[in-house]
Structure 1
Amino acid sequence: MNPFPEQTLSAPVERATERALDKLLFRKLMPLLIIVYVISFLDRTNIALAKASIAVDLGISSAAYGLGAGLFFLTYAALEVPSNLIMYKCGAKFWIARIMVTWGLLSAGMAFVQGETSFYVMRLLLGAAEAGLFPGVMLYLTYWFDRKQRVRATGYFLLGVCVANILSGPLGGALLQMQGVLGMHGWQWLFICEGLPAAALAIVVWRHLPNGPASASWLTSDEVREIERRLAADQREEEAAGVNNHRQRQMLADRQIWLAIAVYFCHQISIYTLIFFLPSVIGTYGKLSPLQVGTLNSVPWIAAAIGAATLPRLATTAARCRRLLVAGLLIMAAGLVIGTSSNPVFGMAGFSLTALMIFVVQSTLFLFPSSRLKGQALAGGLAFVTTCGLFGGFFGPSLMGMVEQATGSIQNGLWMIAALLVAAALAGTALRQGQEGRG
């Protein structure tokens, strides 16, 4: 039953009611989800600032660092699909809280690594613990928002990465300066102080995150029915466009899914290259303290936050989504080329240009596979796209570490990453949403 029948509400009043519901959903859901993602990224990427310190204290080389940074993504990617299917069965509240407890404790445990082997093992365990968070939230958003609002919600969620990288620089730099406190190294304090809050936040998630609209105490029955009506309307449109509720094997036959994976793979190579190696690039700009390096490392992520907060709303149609995606990838490539400049001002401007479009591309890209799937296939499909794409998170840092060790220059690796982004932009021109026909 439609709780807002057209014959009893004028169009302006109905639109005002819909806007009020949208605001309520964003206010109640997005702040907590963003905080969760902020803490997860702090824990996932804090080794970037610890790189120089652990190289001195533990003798970990650039190649070993790059491999360890990337190993996180092997277990993370391998467990994405089963993790998302478990969440689909047991509910978001329990599963997201479980993820947070295990990754927080393991992240804090990074303080006790002794060398390359334990470094590798802990990174693998951390990836396994955090697996499923991103695709789980992507699935969770489909319980609440229709397609038009979901791109906006995804953009806000990805702000968590920007906020994490803005905070991680000054915070990590300050923690590194706790060298010698209670007989521990600064990098040990970095891992402990940034890891334990995740386990504590899990309690908040358990108490305040509803599994879906029907279990949200802050929604009226009319509001729940309105959400259901919107999602049902979305589903009818997708069915009319030929969107399948097919099995996982049938999903694998959709060439559009594989095209989205290829684009996402290149995108992930670039983002994690920037995250894990930008502090090292900044370190070549002169004799800087850890706090100064960390503070400068925050600058491009301010640009990323601006892009994520403002540009995804332009993706209002399938054609605009595609244009925004392709333009974003080309801008990212141009930024990396500019970033290879030895001039610190030009270099930071280039990296900021790349960062500006990182989450614009990511939030727009996920509209393509999600428009072609529904039901359990949507849960498994989003996780599958994320899984395959995240192998770029392994490939990028590993490649950069080997290039740096072999050539003594990080800049050479940046040229290769820029070329991959251009290839991704070319592939992106062929992406189609469900209503544009199946690939």
Structure 2
Amino acid sequence: MPIPADGGPYAVATRKAMLRLLPLLCLAYFMSYVDRTNIALAKTHLQADVGISVAAFGLGAGLFFLTYALFEVPSNLIMYRVGPRRWIARIALSWGAVTALMMFISNDITFYIGRMALGAAEAGLYPAMMFMMTQWFAQKDRATAVGFIYLAPTLGLLLGGPLGGALMELDSLGGFHGWQWMFLIEGLITMAIGLVVLAFLPEVPADARWLSAQEAAALSEQANEGAAEAHRGHSLKGNMGQAFGRPFILLIGVIYFLNQVTMNGVTFNVPSIIESLDVSGSFLVGLLSGVTGIGGTVGVLVMPALFRRVPRESLTIGVLAAVPAAIAAVFLAVPSPAVRIVLIGLMSAIIFGTLPIFWSVAMARMSGIVAAAGLAFINTVGLTGGFVGPYLFGLAESDSGDPSSGFFIVIIASLLGGALAVPLHRALRHADRSTAADAPPRILERDPEVQP
């Protein structure tokens, strides 16, 4: 992911923003993934200490995404009024407080309430960061900026497991269980990051002390270029129809939903799967669980680069959607623990590596308010997959007694996603043809798949 080299006020300012703005956003996003996924490390301990069944755990893990999706749009509307700096800080402070309070989980009901409160508190974080991208970067640099931000969740999975596992080793200290210490300490860290965001995150380029007036003006000008044209000539009703009614948006949303069913189903159950492979010790389990983060990081870095070389949109999405089914089938057939762990990492690389391609395909055909509404719609559909995945995995394990039985869910969801690539191909061609008369020829040249 190249950072623009020096060569003018905008290039210099963009380089500074990527080096100084994005790390702060990534830090907040990193802790959001640590706080939402490290519940997986406490799964067996919650069962032993509190009596939470595997089915109840799956439901509670998924409830996070239900309230997250429910409150995401209202949260983003408030963010637009108060500004992203204060709102991102508020989100971090509130979800950090909820995480810390989850140390008092005592039964199924308090577990459900904690997970739902966490989802509501964290809602709006990702779209708020995406809103900042539109204020700081030109369209040509937004994909690179978003790619850097996507490193946060993969690193969260990579480093969050060992961090949580180490905190779990504090078991019995002060009369608290290890999972209680994990929730408390991670929650306090997140609240501290919220205060850092409030103190140091510049809201717009003009607020950044590390930019000259000329650099800040260049960033704002390039970021806002074309915004007026994007809104011109469309009624609110027409914009909403463009955002929600076009077939390719609906299809991308459904494929993304299936991707999230697989991603979150696997992520929230990796520690228990690894424990079932005769691995013992909270730190070692947490360390090996980081294989999802290793695979995800590799996928986010490698898959977009491969896509630029072979930019066949629907074919790429279809293949990447279906490959996890083959990996899951091999996983179920091979008894070797080492091979199974490697396969989990490979699956994570495919699942995470698909995400930048989803957004690239969608953003290429949307702008202005249509993009804001359409991308939010796709993200909301995907978040519901985050609810369904852990719940289905929990039901599968409850019925079979084997945490790995959820990989049958992976096979079904992945094959469905791959099959939807065929109608997606037709929908993308239709969308491009319908706008060809109004689009400059140079825009169409960027899309090799849909040349006449």
TM-score by length of 1: 0.88
Matched residue type, 2:375:
L
Question: Structure 2 residue aligned with 1:304, among 286, 289, 296?
Answer: 296
What residue number does 2:432 align with?
Answer: 436
Evaluate the alpha carbon distance shift between residue 166 and residue 386 of structure 1 in structure 2; reply closer, same or farther with a 3 A threshold: same
Question: Structure 2 residue aligned with 1:258, among 250, 262, 265?
Answer: 250
Q: Which runs of 5+ in 2 are unaligned?
A: 436-452
Deviation at 1:186, TM superposition (A): 0.8
Aligned residues: 427
Evaluate the alpha carbon distance shift between residue 141 and residue 372 of structure 1 in structure 2; reply closer, same or farther with a 3 A threshold: same
Matched residue type, 1:104:
G
Structure 1, residues 243-292: CA drift from partner, whole Å, max 9, x if none? 99754355222222211210110111111112101111111111421111
Question: Structure 1 residue aligned with 2:108, among 116, 124, 140?
Answer: 116
Structure 1, residues 286-324: CA drift from partner, whole Å, max 9, x if none? 142111111111123112112223432455499455454
Evaluate the alpha carbon distance shift between residue 113 and residue 373 of structure 1 in structure 2; reply closer, same or farther with a 3 A threshold: same
Evaluate the alpha carbon distance shift between residue 368 and residue 139 of structure 1 in structure 2; reply closer, same or farther with a 3 A threshold: farther
Partners of 2:98 and 2:123 in 1: CA distance: 13
Deviation at 1:178, TM superposition (A): 1.2
Partners of 1:152 and 1:357 in 2: CA distance: 19
Matched residue type, 1:362:
L
Deviation at 1:15, TM superposition (A): 5.5
What residue number does 1:137 align with?
Answer: 129
Contact 1:238 1:434 in 2 (8 A): no
Partners of 2:431 and 2:17 in 1: CA distance: 27
Partners of 1:320 and 1:224 in 2: CA distance: 37
Contact 1:334 1:354 in 2 (8 A): no
Evaluate the alpha carbon distance shift between residue 123 and residue 14 of structure 1 in structure 2; reply closer, same or farther with a 3 A threshold: closer
The answer to whether the aligner puts 1:348 opposite 2:344 as a matched pair is no
Deviation at 1:163, TM superposition (A): 1.2
Partners of 2:343 and 2:249 in 1: CA distance: 31
SS of 2:420's equivalent? helix
What residue number does 2:277 align with?
Answer: 285
Question: Structure 1 residue aligned with 2:211, among 214, 219, 239?
Answer: 219
Structure 1, residues 177-200: CA drift from partner, whole Å, max 9, x if none? 211111111110011011111111
Contact 1:70 1:394 in 2 (8 A): yes
Contact 1:152 1:312 in 2 (8 A): no
Partners of 2:190 and 2:122 in 1: CA distance: 11
Question: Structure 2 residue aligned with 1:387, among 373, 380, 383?
Answer: 380
What residue number does 2:28 align with?
Answer: 36
Match runs of 1:11-160 below 5 Å: 19-160=11-152
Question: Structure 1 residue aligned with 2:164, among 167, 172, 176?
Answer: 172
SS of 1:269's equivalent? helix
Evaluate the alpha carbon distance shift between residue 345 and residue 14 of structure 1 in structure 2; reply closer, same or farther with a 3 A threshold: closer
Question: Structure 2 residue aligned with 1:189, among 171, 181, 189?
Answer: 181
Contact 1:151 1:312 in 2 (8 A): no
Deviation at 1:154, TM superposition (A): 1.6
Partners of 1:438 and 1:346 in 2: CA distance: 48
Contact 1:104 1:199 in 2 (8 A): yes
**More displaced stretch, 99-108 vs 306-315:** 306-315
Question: Structure 2 residue aligned with 1:274, among 241, 247, 266?
Answer: 266
**More displaced stretch, 116-125 vs 352-361:** 352-361
Matched residue type, 1:65:
F
SS of 1:366's equivalent? helix
**More displaced stretch, 26-35 vs 304-313:** 304-313
Quote the RMSD (CA, aligned, Å).
2.9
Deviation at 1:370, TM superposition (A): 3.1
**More displaced stretch, 306-315 vs 362-371:** 306-315
**More displaced stretch, 421-430 vs 77-86:** 421-430
Partners of 2:432 and 2:93 in 1: CA distance: 42
Partners of 2:431 and 2:140 in 1: CA distance: 14
SS of 1:187's equivalent? helix
Evaluate the alpha carbon distance shift between residue 113 and residue 337 of structure 1 in structure 2; reply closer, same or farther with a 3 A threshold: same
Deviation at 1:49, TM superposition (A): 0.3
Evaluate the alpha carbon distance shift between residue 178 and residue 286 of structure 1 in structure 2; reply closer, same or farther with a 3 A threshold: same
Structure 1, residues 220-259: CA drift from partner, whole Å, max 9, x if none? 333334334434556589789x999754355222222211
Q: Which runs of 5+ in 1 are unaligned?
A: 1-11
Partners of 2:229 and 2:239 in 1: CA distance: 20
Evaluate the alpha carbon distance shift between residue 306 and residue 428 of structure 1 in structure 2; reply closer, same or farther with a 3 A threshold: same
Partners of 2:166 and 2:390 in 1: CA distance: 25
What residue number does 1:367 align with?
Answer: 360
Contact 1:88 1:379 in 2 (8 A): no
Structure 1 vs Structure 2: percent identity of aligned residues? Answer: 35
What residue number does 1:328 align with?
Answer: 320
Match runs of 1:207-246 below 5 Å: 207-231=199-223, 246=238
**More displaced stretch, 407-416 vs 12-21:** 12-21
The answer to whether the aligner puts 1:409 opposite 2:402 as a matched pair is yes
Contact 1:156 1:309 in 2 (8 A): no
Partners of 1:16 and 1:435 in 2: CA distance: 36
Evaluate the alpha carbon distance shift between residue 239 and residue 436 of structure 1 in structure 2; reply closer, same or farther with a 3 A threshold: farther
Partners of 2:9 and 2:305 in 1: CA distance: 20
Question: Structure 1 residue aligned with 2:416, among 416, 423, 427?
Answer: 423
Partners of 2:353 and 2:49 in 1: CA distance: 38
Matched residue type, 2:146:
T
Deviation at 1:69, TM superposition (A): 0.5
Deviation at 1:172, TM superposition (A): 1.5
